[in-house]
A and B are shown apart, each in its own frame.
Chain A
Amino acid sequence: MTHTRARWWQHPAGVVGVGLLCTYVALAVLGPWLAPASPTALNLGRALAPPGGAALLGTDENGIDLLSMLLHGMRLSLWIATCTTIISVLVGATLGAWVGLRGGWLDEGAMRVVDVLLAFPGIILNLALVALMARPGVPHLIFALSLTGWVSYARVARGEALALRQKEFVLASRLAGAGEAWLLGRHILPNLMSTLVVQATYGFASVMLAEASLSFLGLGPQLPYTLGALLAQGTTYLWSSSHISVAPGLTLGVIVLACNLTGDVLRDHWQPRRPSRLA
């Protein structure tokens, strides 16, 4: 216990990352109660009000309180990223570990599918999928993001499973008559856990960015208060009311930063490398 705690404090950046992440999760959970107003309550009389006064972060083009929009938008973005990451990890890890354990033509085939899906750079496959839906909602977006998200987890899980299936404890279990499901659940997946958690922490950040990009382009959930939609509005009013995009931009950046820092410290903790110092 003391050992773990001592190692934690050696990574101040990691503590900052985890702290920020917890803060944002708490803000997202409590968002609807913390928000001073509704994220959809129009008040055209005080549109584009600057920060300060009645509205802490100012108001948008329709006079909606920006802080309320931000809290609801952040909650939605974190929710979408959480669902997408969980689905992607579950599907990707199970599938990847299974084909890695099996090997042979199944493994070959699955890896060719992975190659094909990885050939679509950035969010273009998501864009094309979302384009096929008249009014993309939150479930549609989670579906589209998961459809491309599982691939990288599958590739990593498959690689690790290939190495693990040669290990003595797996061979012994196999000799003792263990079936595939047992091997996967008992030996392969538990050994993949640390790698997957690290990867999922970075993956969470990229899902946040992908979702914000889709919303920014008007192809996310059709709501005015997602982080991407707020940034898009901020870009429209860049000339006159530059306050709109500051808070959502910072929020998105800091969440990504917190995920990356957390991922770094978890990776150093679980996969320590040799200390790098020149002799």
Chain B
Amino acid sequence: MPQASRSFATLQRRPLANRIARRATGAVVAMCGVLLLVFALKHLVPGDPVDAMLGDQAQAVDRAAMQHCLGLDQSVPQALAAFAASLFNGTLGHSCRDPQTTVASLIGRAFPFTFSLALAAVSFALAVAVPLALLSAWRPQSWWDAAASVFAVLGLAVPSLWLGPLLLRWFYVQWHWFPGPADDPSTAAALVLPALTLGIHMAALLTRLLRASLFDLTNEDFMRTAIAKGLSRSQALRRHLLRPALLPMITMAGMQVAGLLGGAIVTERVFGRPGLGTLLLDALAVRDWKVIEGAVLVMALSYLAINLLVDVTYTLVDPRLRSPAAAP
């Protein structure tokens, strides 16, 4: 039997490897699509992109510079080759405003600020959501349950672009408890207010989902059996419900971290954090297309990469996915 067909056959017999391979292929295809879309973005807007960005009153010099920045002074294959080259040499091209600086170095400086914020926000959200949802499931229809529901509804509705300034107003301007936009953004204390701003919305979402999944699971046969065997509600919760209910949280939390890489733009602006969002906004203000392109690309690619990582982890951790019957 040839090597290739035998390994394919083994793959077929192993649902786990099969599933991971399928997800990885999907992610790679999506990444290629993302690359193409980012490259083609400037052509999606109706009309000439140079006119659209500069208006029709612009000087010839500025128009030429913008044309060069957008790569429109080359033919499409040439521009595509240059784009691919900038990906492979790891520079992501050079900033149009400052040709000495590579886009990759700008992103490298900004990424830790966004990533630490995303991690802090998700940790806060999990620390709030998991206990709250468990209390709900432990004592349904109680005050705790009502409080969890109200928190889930209100937390989802508070716009972060309002909450951020409000937190600044009280905890920075009024009471000076935490650092504000003017202070050093690399300290841990500087993380607190922005993480809270993003985390409350997320905590509400996670509470809602975890509470719903816990309540769904209490209807399952294994829970009825556990109660029939004489386990108390809290014992049944602890021994039988916790694992299947918490496992999907891995996926949710991972997706939220990935989403925040691009979703923290407003919060970064409000708190003056020099992360990816701020980099993107600063580039937008001066129409530095190379930096815009690079930042958008990195956000989308990291989103796909983190999602793939989370998916694979989940597949490895959840024993139910190991049986052939469970493989979709």
Contacts and interface: CB of A to CB of B under 8 A. Distances in A.
Interface string A245-268: 100110011101100110000000
Contacts of A127: 265, 280-281, 284
A278 B140 contact: yes
B269 A112 contact: no
A133 B42 CA distance: 10
A132 B45 contact: yes
Contacts of A248: 162
A147 B46 CA distance: 13
B96 to A, nearest CB: 13
26 contacts: A113-B33, A115-B26, A115-B30, A119-B33, A119-B34, A119-B300, A119-B301, A120-B299, A121-B261, A121-B303, A122-B262, A122-B265, A123-B262, A124-B299, A127-B265, A128-B296, A129-B44, A133-B52, A209-B159, A213-B161, A217-B281, A239-B173, A248-B162, A256-B159, A277-B140, A278-B223
B157 interface: yes
Is the contact region of chain B dominated by helix, strand, or loop, or is it mixed? Answer: helix
Given A212-B159, A278-B218, A116 B30 contact: yes
B292 interface: yes
B134 to A, nearest CB: 14
A256 B162 contact: no
A244 B254 CA distance: 37
B41 A129 contact: yes
Contact of B292 (A128, A216, A239): A128
Nearest to B159: A252
B265 A124 contact: yes
A172 interface: no
A231 B29 CA distance: 40
Contact of B55 (A113, A135, A257): A135
A62 B219 CA distance: 59
Contacts of B262: 120-124
Given A129-B44, A129-B45, A252-B159, A235 B165 contact: yes
Given A124-B280, A231-B162, A132 B265 contact: no
Nearest to B31: A119
Interface of A: 13, 112-113, 115-117, 119-125, 127-129, 131-135, 147, 209, 212-213, 216-217, 219, 228, 231, 234-235, 238-239, 242, 245, 248-249, 252-254, 256-257, 260-261, 273-274, 276-279
Interface string B164-175: 011011000100
A135 B284 CA distance: 13
A124 B296 contact: yes
B303 A119 contact: yes
Given A212-B159, A279-B224, 8 more contacts: A112-B30, A116-B37, A120-B303, A121-B303, A231-B161, A235-B270, A238-B169, A278-B140
B302 to A, nearest CB: 9
Q: Do most interface residues of chain A lie in helix, strand or loop, or is the interface mixed?
A: helix
Contacts of A252: 159, 162
Contacts, number: 154
B153 A122 contact: no
B42 A132 contact: yes
B283 to A, nearest CB: 8
A110 to B, nearest CB: 12
Contacts of B162: 231, 245, 248-249, 252-253
Contacts of A217: 265-266, 269, 281
Contacts of B34: 116, 119-120
Contact of B30 (A119, A129, A132, A273): A119
Contact of A125 (B168, B281, B296): B296
A278 B54 contact: no
Nearest to B154: A257
Given A131-B292, A278-B227, A216 B161 contact: yes
A108 to B, nearest CB: 10
For the complex of A and B, 3 pairs with smallest distance between CB atoms: A249-B162, A116-B33, A122-B263
A132 B283 CA distance: 12
A97 B29 CA distance: 23
B304 interface: yes
A245 B167 CA distance: 13
B233 interface: yes
B284 A213 contact: no
Contact of A131 (B29, B261, B284): B284
B260 interface: yes
